[in-house]
A = this chain, B = another copy of it.
Amino acid sequence: MLEELNRLCDRVAGRRNGMHGQDFLLTWDRSLDDLHTVHDVADVLRQLRERNISCRCFDSGLAVSQFRDNSTRTRFSFASAANLLGLAVQDLDEGKSQLSHGETVRETAVMVSFLSEAIGIRDDMYLGAGHAYMLEVAAALDQACREGVLPSRPAIVNLQSDVDHPTQTMADLLHLAHEFGSVSQLRGRKIVMSWAYSPSYGKPLSVPQGVLGLMTRLGMEVVLAHPPGYDLIPSVLERAAAQSRQSGGSFRTTDDLADAFAGADIVYPKSWAPYAVMERRTELLRAGDRQGLADLERECLATNARFADWTCGRALMDTTREGRALYLHCLPADISGVSCEQGEVEAEVFEQYREPLYRQAGYKPYVIAAMILCSRFRDPAALLRNLARRAAPRLLG
Protein backbone atom coordinates (compact mmCIF):
# COMPACT_ATOMS: atom_id res chain seq x y z
CA MET A 1 0.00 0.00 0.00
CA LEU A 2 2.71 2.46 1.00
CA GLU A 3 4.53 1.63 -2.22
CA GLU A 4 1.41 2.35 -4.22
CA LEU A 5 1.10 5.72 -2.48
CA ASN A 6 4.72 6.48 -3.21
CA ARG A 7 4.33 5.51 -6.84
CA LEU A 8 1.33 7.84 -7.23
CA CYS A 9 3.10 10.70 -5.45
CA ASP A 10 6.17 10.21 -7.68
CA ARG A 11 3.95 10.48 -10.74
CA VAL A 12 2.31 13.65 -9.43
CA ALA A 13 5.72 15.11 -8.56
CA GLY A 14 6.94 14.37 -12.09
CA ARG A 15 4.37 16.66 -13.67
CA ARG A 16 4.12 20.44 -13.60
CA ASN A 17 0.93 21.42 -11.72
CA GLY A 18 -0.82 23.67 -14.21
CA MET A 19 -3.87 23.96 -11.96
CA HIS A 20 -2.29 26.02 -9.20
CA GLY A 21 -4.33 29.19 -8.78
CA GLN A 22 -6.65 28.08 -11.59
CA ASP A 23 -10.32 27.13 -11.69
CA PHE A 24 -11.69 23.83 -12.92
CA LEU A 25 -14.45 24.78 -15.36
CA LEU A 26 -13.91 22.65 -18.48
CA THR A 27 -11.78 19.52 -18.79
CA TRP A 28 -10.51 20.74 -22.18
CA ASP A 29 -9.02 23.82 -20.55
CA ARG A 30 -6.63 21.52 -18.68
CA SER A 31 -3.69 19.54 -20.00
CA LEU A 32 -3.80 15.76 -20.00
CA ASP A 33 -1.04 15.87 -17.41
CA ASP A 34 -3.28 17.92 -15.13
CA LEU A 35 -6.14 15.48 -15.60
CA HIS A 36 -3.85 12.58 -14.68
CA THR A 37 -2.73 14.52 -11.63
CA VAL A 38 -6.33 15.01 -10.50
CA HIS A 39 -6.87 11.27 -10.74
CA ASP A 40 -3.66 10.37 -8.94
CA VAL A 41 -4.35 12.87 -6.16
CA ALA A 42 -7.91 11.54 -5.84
CA ASP A 43 -6.55 8.00 -5.52
CA VAL A 44 -4.02 9.03 -2.90
CA LEU A 45 -6.65 10.85 -0.85
CA ARG A 46 -8.92 7.80 -0.99
CA GLN A 47 -6.14 5.50 0.08
CA LEU A 48 -5.04 7.79 2.88
CA ARG A 49 -8.59 7.94 4.19
CA GLU A 50 -9.01 4.18 3.92
CA ARG A 51 -5.80 3.78 5.95
CA ASN A 52 -7.33 6.08 8.57
CA ILE A 53 -4.94 8.91 7.78
CA SER A 54 -6.29 12.44 7.97
CA CYS A 55 -6.38 14.38 4.70
CA ARG A 56 -6.95 17.66 6.51
CA CYS A 57 -4.72 20.25 4.91
CA PHE A 58 -6.84 23.29 5.82
CA ASP A 59 -7.13 24.24 9.46
CA SER A 60 -9.94 26.65 8.58
CA GLY A 61 -11.60 28.11 5.52
CA LEU A 62 -14.97 28.09 3.82
CA ALA A 63 -16.07 26.10 0.80
CA VAL A 64 -18.89 28.12 -0.75
CA SER A 65 -21.54 26.13 -2.57
CA GLN A 66 -23.91 27.77 -4.99
CA PHE A 67 -26.54 25.48 -6.46
CA ARG A 68 -28.71 27.24 -9.01
CA ASP A 69 -30.38 23.91 -9.70
CA ASN A 70 -31.37 21.04 -7.42
CA SER A 71 -28.73 18.57 -6.38
CA THR A 72 -28.29 15.81 -3.84
CA ARG A 73 -25.39 13.73 -5.11
CA THR A 74 -23.14 16.59 -6.14
CA ARG A 75 -24.06 18.56 -3.03
CA PHE A 76 -22.92 15.69 -0.83
CA SER A 77 -19.86 15.07 -2.96
CA PHE A 78 -18.82 18.70 -2.63
CA ALA A 79 -19.58 18.71 1.11
CA SER A 80 -17.61 15.50 1.61
CA ALA A 81 -14.66 16.79 -0.38
CA ALA A 82 -14.58 20.07 1.52
CA ASN A 83 -14.87 18.33 4.85
CA LEU A 84 -12.15 15.81 3.97
CA LEU A 85 -9.71 18.67 3.39
CA GLY A 86 -10.80 20.59 6.49
CA LEU A 87 -13.13 23.19 4.94
CA ALA A 88 -16.61 24.13 6.15
CA VAL A 89 -19.40 24.38 3.60
CA GLN A 90 -21.44 27.57 3.45
CA ASP A 91 -24.35 27.76 1.03
CA LEU A 92 -24.85 30.84 -1.11
CA ASP A 93 -28.57 30.80 -1.77
CA GLU A 94 -29.79 33.62 -3.98
CA GLY A 95 -33.12 32.04 -4.83
CA LYS A 96 -33.17 29.61 -7.67
CA SER A 97 -34.83 31.79 -10.27
CA GLN A 98 -32.86 34.98 -9.79
CA LEU A 99 -30.11 35.49 -12.29
CA SER A 100 -27.91 38.31 -11.20
CA HIS A 101 -25.66 40.23 -13.53
CA GLY A 102 -22.98 42.84 -13.62
CA GLU A 103 -22.00 44.61 -10.44
CA THR A 104 -24.02 42.21 -8.32
CA VAL A 105 -22.07 39.17 -9.50
CA ARG A 106 -18.72 40.88 -9.06
CA GLU A 107 -19.56 42.21 -5.63
CA THR A 108 -21.14 39.02 -4.29
CA ALA A 109 -18.23 36.95 -5.56
CA VAL A 110 -15.83 39.06 -3.53
CA MET A 111 -18.05 39.34 -0.44
CA VAL A 112 -18.28 35.56 0.02
CA SER A 113 -14.57 35.00 -0.64
CA PHE A 114 -12.67 36.87 2.06
CA LEU A 115 -11.91 33.70 4.03
CA SER A 116 -12.93 31.13 1.43
CA GLU A 117 -10.79 28.52 -0.27
CA ALA A 118 -13.18 27.05 -2.81
CA ILE A 119 -16.42 27.93 -4.59
CA GLY A 120 -18.49 25.16 -6.14
CA ILE A 121 -21.09 26.32 -8.65
CA ARG A 122 -23.91 24.44 -10.36
CA ASP A 123 -25.62 26.53 -13.04
CA ASP A 124 -26.97 24.39 -15.84
CA MET A 125 -30.52 25.58 -16.45
CA TYR A 126 -29.88 28.33 -18.98
CA LEU A 127 -28.02 27.67 -22.20
CA GLY A 128 -25.29 30.23 -22.66
CA ALA A 129 -25.48 31.33 -19.03
CA GLY A 130 -23.86 28.83 -16.65
CA HIS A 131 -20.33 28.81 -18.00
CA ALA A 132 -20.52 32.55 -18.64
CA TYR A 133 -21.54 33.10 -15.01
CA MET A 134 -18.56 31.10 -13.76
CA LEU A 135 -16.22 33.13 -15.93
CA GLU A 136 -17.74 36.32 -14.50
CA VAL A 137 -17.15 35.12 -10.95
CA ALA A 138 -13.61 34.08 -11.87
CA ALA A 139 -12.84 37.50 -13.36
CA ALA A 140 -14.15 39.19 -10.21
CA LEU A 141 -11.91 37.06 -8.01
CA ASP A 142 -8.89 37.69 -10.22
CA GLN A 143 -9.45 41.42 -10.06
CA ALA A 144 -9.96 41.38 -6.27
CA CYS A 145 -6.70 39.45 -5.85
CA ARG A 146 -4.79 41.85 -8.06
CA GLU A 147 -6.17 44.77 -6.07
CA GLY A 148 -5.18 43.15 -2.78
CA VAL A 149 -8.80 43.01 -1.64
CA LEU A 150 -8.69 39.22 -1.29
CA PRO A 151 -5.79 37.65 0.63
CA SER A 152 -5.94 34.59 -1.63
CA ARG A 153 -7.83 33.26 -4.62
CA PRO A 154 -10.51 30.63 -3.93
CA ALA A 155 -10.68 27.84 -6.49
CA ILE A 156 -13.87 27.70 -8.54
CA VAL A 157 -15.05 24.17 -9.27
CA ASN A 158 -17.71 23.71 -11.93
CA LEU A 159 -20.32 21.44 -10.41
CA GLN A 160 -22.23 21.39 -13.72
CA SER A 161 -22.67 24.16 -16.25
CA ASP A 162 -24.55 24.39 -19.52
CA VAL A 163 -21.36 23.27 -21.27
CA ASP A 164 -19.50 20.71 -19.15
CA HIS A 165 -19.83 18.59 -16.01
CA PRO A 166 -16.18 17.94 -15.21
CA THR A 167 -16.57 16.50 -11.69
CA GLN A 168 -18.89 13.88 -13.19
CA THR A 169 -16.81 12.99 -16.23
CA MET A 170 -13.55 12.96 -14.29
CA ALA A 171 -15.14 10.55 -11.80
CA ASP A 172 -16.39 8.51 -14.76
CA LEU A 173 -12.88 8.39 -16.21
CA LEU A 174 -11.32 7.43 -12.89
CA HIS A 175 -13.85 4.61 -12.73
CA LEU A 176 -12.89 3.49 -16.24
CA ALA A 177 -9.21 3.66 -15.38
CA HIS A 178 -9.79 1.36 -12.40
CA GLU A 179 -12.02 -1.01 -14.39
CA PHE A 180 -9.68 -1.24 -17.39
CA GLY A 181 -6.40 -1.04 -15.46
CA SER A 182 -5.34 2.49 -16.42
CA VAL A 183 -6.25 5.41 -18.63
CA SER A 184 -3.77 4.27 -21.25
CA GLN A 185 -5.59 0.91 -21.43
CA LEU A 186 -8.57 2.84 -22.82
CA ARG A 187 -6.76 3.61 -26.09
CA GLY A 188 -8.61 2.02 -28.98
CA ARG A 189 -11.64 1.10 -26.88
CA LYS A 190 -15.07 1.92 -28.24
CA ILE A 191 -17.20 4.16 -26.03
CA VAL A 192 -20.78 5.05 -26.94
CA MET A 193 -22.42 8.19 -25.63
CA SER A 194 -26.01 7.63 -26.62
CA TRP A 195 -29.28 9.40 -26.12
CA ALA A 196 -31.91 7.34 -24.31
CA TYR A 197 -35.61 7.76 -23.89
CA SER A 198 -36.99 9.28 -20.71
CA PRO A 199 -40.51 10.32 -19.79
CA SER A 200 -39.10 13.62 -18.56
CA TYR A 201 -37.68 16.30 -20.79
CA GLY A 202 -35.17 19.10 -20.58
CA LYS A 203 -32.24 17.24 -19.04
CA PRO A 204 -29.00 19.23 -19.40
CA LEU A 205 -26.51 18.67 -22.17
CA SER A 206 -23.49 18.91 -19.91
CA VAL A 207 -22.94 15.17 -19.39
CA PRO A 208 -22.91 14.08 -23.04
CA GLN A 209 -20.89 17.16 -23.98
CA GLY A 210 -18.48 16.57 -21.12
CA VAL A 211 -18.05 12.89 -22.03
CA LEU A 212 -17.24 13.76 -25.66
CA GLY A 213 -14.95 16.59 -24.60
CA LEU A 214 -12.96 14.29 -22.34
CA MET A 215 -12.97 10.84 -23.95
CA THR A 216 -11.95 12.07 -27.41
CA ARG A 217 -8.58 13.06 -25.91
CA LEU A 218 -7.60 9.51 -25.02
CA GLY A 219 -7.31 7.78 -28.38
CA MET A 220 -10.66 6.06 -27.98
CA GLU A 221 -13.23 5.22 -30.63
CA VAL A 222 -15.96 7.63 -29.56
CA VAL A 223 -19.45 7.28 -30.97
CA LEU A 224 -22.26 9.72 -30.33
CA ALA A 225 -25.68 8.26 -31.02
CA HIS A 226 -28.96 10.12 -30.93
CA PRO A 227 -32.22 10.41 -32.87
CA PRO A 228 -32.38 13.14 -35.52
CA GLY A 229 -32.67 16.55 -33.90
CA TYR A 230 -31.14 15.72 -30.52
CA ASP A 231 -28.04 17.77 -31.21
CA LEU A 232 -25.50 19.13 -28.76
CA ILE A 233 -23.75 22.51 -28.78
CA PRO A 234 -21.97 22.61 -32.19
CA SER A 235 -18.66 23.96 -30.89
CA VAL A 236 -18.34 21.02 -28.51
CA LEU A 237 -18.81 18.61 -31.40
CA GLU A 238 -16.14 20.41 -33.43
CA ARG A 239 -13.78 20.22 -30.49
CA ALA A 240 -14.50 16.52 -30.04
CA ALA A 241 -13.69 15.87 -33.71
CA ALA A 242 -10.45 17.84 -33.54
CA GLN A 243 -9.37 16.21 -30.31
CA SER A 244 -10.03 12.69 -31.57
CA ARG A 245 -7.83 13.33 -34.61
CA GLN A 246 -5.09 14.69 -32.41
CA SER A 247 -5.24 11.80 -29.96
CA GLY A 248 -5.19 9.14 -32.64
CA GLY A 249 -8.75 8.05 -31.91
CA SER A 250 -11.95 8.55 -33.83
CA PHE A 251 -15.24 10.32 -33.41
CA ARG A 252 -18.47 9.92 -35.31
CA THR A 253 -22.17 10.62 -34.85
CA THR A 254 -24.93 8.21 -35.78
CA ASP A 255 -28.69 7.94 -35.45
CA ASP A 256 -28.50 4.14 -35.48
CA LEU A 257 -28.46 2.86 -31.92
CA ALA A 258 -27.76 -0.75 -32.92
CA ASP A 259 -24.77 0.29 -34.98
CA ALA A 260 -23.46 2.38 -32.10
CA PHE A 261 -23.66 -0.42 -29.51
CA ALA A 262 -22.20 -3.14 -31.75
CA GLY A 263 -18.89 -4.24 -30.25
CA ALA A 264 -18.75 -1.36 -27.77
CA ASP A 265 -16.52 -1.60 -24.69
CA ILE A 266 -18.34 1.11 -22.78
CA VAL A 267 -21.87 2.48 -23.14
CA TYR A 268 -23.33 5.63 -21.58
CA PRO A 269 -27.04 5.81 -22.56
CA LYS A 270 -28.70 8.90 -21.15
CA SER A 271 -31.50 11.29 -21.94
CA TRP A 272 -30.99 14.93 -22.87
CA ALA A 273 -32.96 17.70 -24.52
CA PRO A 274 -32.15 18.84 -28.05
CA TYR A 275 -29.84 21.83 -28.20
CA ALA A 276 -32.46 23.83 -30.15
CA VAL A 277 -35.08 23.06 -27.50
CA MET A 278 -32.74 24.17 -24.72
CA GLU A 279 -32.24 27.44 -26.56
CA ARG A 280 -35.99 28.02 -26.82
CA ARG A 281 -36.42 26.94 -23.22
CA THR A 282 -33.78 29.42 -22.09
CA GLU A 283 -35.62 32.24 -23.85
CA LEU A 284 -38.96 31.20 -22.36
CA LEU A 285 -37.48 30.88 -18.86
CA ARG A 286 -35.94 34.34 -19.17
CA ALA A 287 -39.25 35.75 -20.38
CA GLY A 288 -41.07 33.94 -17.58
CA ASP A 289 -43.42 32.55 -20.24
CA ARG A 290 -45.20 29.74 -18.41
CA GLN A 291 -47.60 28.95 -21.21
CA GLY A 292 -44.74 28.81 -23.67
CA LEU A 293 -42.82 26.49 -21.37
CA ALA A 294 -45.82 24.19 -20.98
CA ASP A 295 -46.34 24.12 -24.75
CA LEU A 296 -42.67 23.39 -25.33
CA GLU A 297 -42.71 20.58 -22.80
CA ARG A 298 -45.78 18.97 -24.38
CA GLU A 299 -44.27 19.24 -27.83
CA CYS A 300 -40.96 17.77 -26.68
CA LEU A 301 -42.51 14.90 -24.81
CA ALA A 302 -44.43 14.05 -27.96
CA THR A 303 -41.20 14.07 -29.96
CA ASN A 304 -39.45 12.04 -27.26
CA ALA A 305 -42.23 9.45 -27.38
CA ARG A 306 -41.38 8.69 -31.01
CA PHE A 307 -38.03 7.36 -29.76
CA ALA A 308 -39.24 5.33 -26.80
CA ASP A 309 -37.34 2.33 -28.18
CA TRP A 310 -34.04 4.11 -27.50
CA THR A 311 -33.61 2.20 -24.28
CA CYS A 312 -30.72 0.18 -22.95
CA GLY A 313 -32.02 -3.37 -22.82
CA ARG A 314 -30.54 -6.82 -22.56
CA ALA A 315 -30.71 -7.54 -26.29
CA LEU A 316 -28.80 -4.36 -27.06
CA MET A 317 -26.21 -5.08 -24.37
CA ASP A 318 -25.70 -8.54 -25.89
CA THR A 319 -24.41 -6.90 -29.08
CA THR A 320 -21.55 -5.17 -27.24
CA ARG A 321 -18.06 -6.68 -26.98
CA GLU A 322 -18.53 -10.19 -25.60
CA GLY A 323 -21.96 -9.00 -24.50
CA ARG A 324 -20.42 -7.26 -21.51
CA ALA A 325 -19.70 -3.62 -22.22
CA LEU A 326 -19.37 -1.53 -19.09
CA TYR A 327 -22.57 0.43 -18.53
CA LEU A 328 -22.16 3.99 -17.22
CA HIS A 329 -24.66 6.51 -15.92
CA CYS A 330 -24.31 9.71 -13.94
CA LEU A 331 -27.38 8.73 -11.85
CA PRO A 332 -30.19 8.88 -11.12
CA ALA A 333 -31.25 6.80 -14.11
CA ASP A 334 -34.83 6.46 -15.32
CA ILE A 335 -35.22 2.71 -14.91
CA SER A 336 -38.09 1.00 -16.74
CA GLY A 337 -40.56 -0.46 -14.31
CA VAL A 338 -38.73 0.98 -11.29
CA SER A 339 -38.59 4.77 -11.35
CA CYS A 340 -40.88 5.08 -14.40
CA GLU A 341 -42.91 2.91 -16.72
CA GLN A 342 -40.51 3.12 -19.62
CA GLY A 343 -37.12 4.79 -19.34
CA GLU A 344 -33.43 4.94 -20.19
CA VAL A 345 -32.54 1.45 -19.07
CA GLU A 346 -34.14 -1.90 -18.33
CA ALA A 347 -34.26 -2.85 -14.68
CA GLU A 348 -32.27 -6.04 -15.24
CA VAL A 349 -29.42 -4.22 -16.96
CA PHE A 350 -29.32 -1.52 -14.33
CA GLU A 351 -29.31 -4.05 -11.52
CA GLN A 352 -26.43 -5.94 -13.13
CA TYR A 353 -24.33 -2.79 -13.13
CA ARG A 354 -25.63 -1.18 -9.96
CA GLU A 355 -22.59 -2.06 -7.88
CA PRO A 356 -20.00 -0.61 -10.32
CA LEU A 357 -22.30 2.40 -10.88
CA TYR A 358 -22.33 3.16 -7.17
CA ARG A 359 -18.57 2.72 -7.04
CA GLN A 360 -18.30 5.16 -9.97
CA ALA A 361 -20.32 7.70 -7.96
CA GLY A 362 -18.05 7.13 -4.98
CA TYR A 363 -15.07 8.63 -6.83
CA LYS A 364 -16.70 12.04 -7.14
CA PRO A 365 -15.90 13.37 -3.64
CA TYR A 366 -12.23 12.51 -4.14
CA VAL A 367 -12.13 14.03 -7.63
CA ILE A 368 -13.57 17.29 -6.25
CA ALA A 369 -11.15 17.25 -3.32
CA ALA A 370 -8.28 16.73 -5.75
CA MET A 371 -9.43 19.66 -7.90
CA ILE A 372 -9.53 21.97 -4.87
CA LEU A 373 -6.21 20.72 -3.57
CA CYS A 374 -4.41 21.11 -6.92
CA SER A 375 -5.69 24.66 -7.28
CA ARG A 376 -4.78 25.76 -3.77
CA PHE A 377 -1.42 23.99 -3.37
CA ARG A 378 1.47 24.51 -5.74
CA ASP A 379 3.08 21.16 -5.02
CA PRO A 380 0.40 18.50 -4.45
CA ALA A 381 2.92 15.65 -4.21
CA ALA A 382 4.79 17.34 -1.37
CA LEU A 383 1.51 17.99 0.43
CA LEU A 384 0.33 14.39 0.09
CA ARG A 385 3.67 13.09 1.37
CA ASN A 386 3.33 15.51 4.24
CA LEU A 387 -0.09 14.08 5.07
CA ALA A 388 1.21 10.52 4.88
CA ARG A 389 4.20 11.36 7.07
CA ARG A 390 2.09 13.23 9.61
CA ALA A 391 -0.30 10.27 9.63
CA ALA A 392 -2.79 11.98 11.93
CA PRO A 393 -5.54 9.42 12.57
CA ARG A 394 -8.88 10.25 10.96
CA LEU A 395 -10.69 8.21 13.59
CA LEU A 396 -9.08 8.21 16.98
CA GLY A 397 -7.98 4.67 17.89
Interfacial residues, chain A to chain B (CB-CB below 8 A): 49-50, 54-62, 64, 72-73, 75-77, 79-80, 83-84, 86, 88-90, 92, 94, 102-104, 107-108, 110-112, 114-116, 144, 147-151, 331-332, 335, 338-339, 355, 358-359, 361-362, 365, 376-377, 382-383, 386-387, 390, 392-397
Q: How far is the CA of A58 from the CA of B88 in the complex (A)?
A: 15
Binding site secondary structure of chain A:
mixed
* A340 vs B244: C-alpha distance when bound (angstroms): 48
In the bound complex, do residue B56 and residue A59 qualify as a contact, i.e. CB atoms below 8 Å apart? Answer: yes
Rank and list the top 6 A-B pairs by shortest CB-CB distance, nearest first.
Answer: A80-B115, A57-B396, A54-B59, A149-B358, A79-B90, A59-B394
Contact A115 B83, CB 8 Å, known A92-B72, A102-B338: yes
Question: Chain B's nearest CB lies how many Å from the CB of A363?
Answer: 9
- Within the complex, the shortest CB–CB distance from A318 to chain B, in Å, comes to 24
- A291, B354: Cα distance in complex, Å: 42
Q: Are A358 and B144 in contact (CB under 8 A)?
A: yes
In the assembled complex, how far is the CB of residue A187 from the closest CB belonging to chain B, in whole angstroms?
28
Q: Which residues of B contact A396 (CB under 8 A)?
A: 56-59, 383, 386-387, 390
- Give the chain B neighbours of A149 by CB distance below 8 A: 355, 358-359, 362
In the complex, A397→B62 CA distance in Å? 18
Q: Closest chain B residue to A355 by CB distance?
A: B147
Contacts of A60 in B (CB 8 A): 54-56, 83-84, 86, 394
8 contacts between A and B (CB under 8 A): A56-B60, A58-B395, A59-B394, A76-B90, A80-B114, A83-B115, A107-B358, A147-B358
CA distance in complex: A60, B80 (Å): 9
What separation, in Å, do the CA atoms of A147 and B392 have in the docked complex?
28
Chain B residues with Cβ below 8 Å from A332 are 103-104, 107
With a cutoff of 8 Å between Cβ atoms, the chain B residues found around residue A390 in the complex are: 396
Which residues of chain B are near A94, meaning CB under 8 Å? Answer: 72
- Known: A58-B395, A60-B394, A377-B395; 18 extra A-B contacts, CB below 8 A, are A56-B60, A58-B396, A59-B393, A59-B396, A61-B394, A62-B80, A64-B76, A73-B111, A76-B92, A76-B114, A84-B115, A88-B88, A88-B89, A107-B332, A111-B358, A386-B397, A387-B396, A390-B396
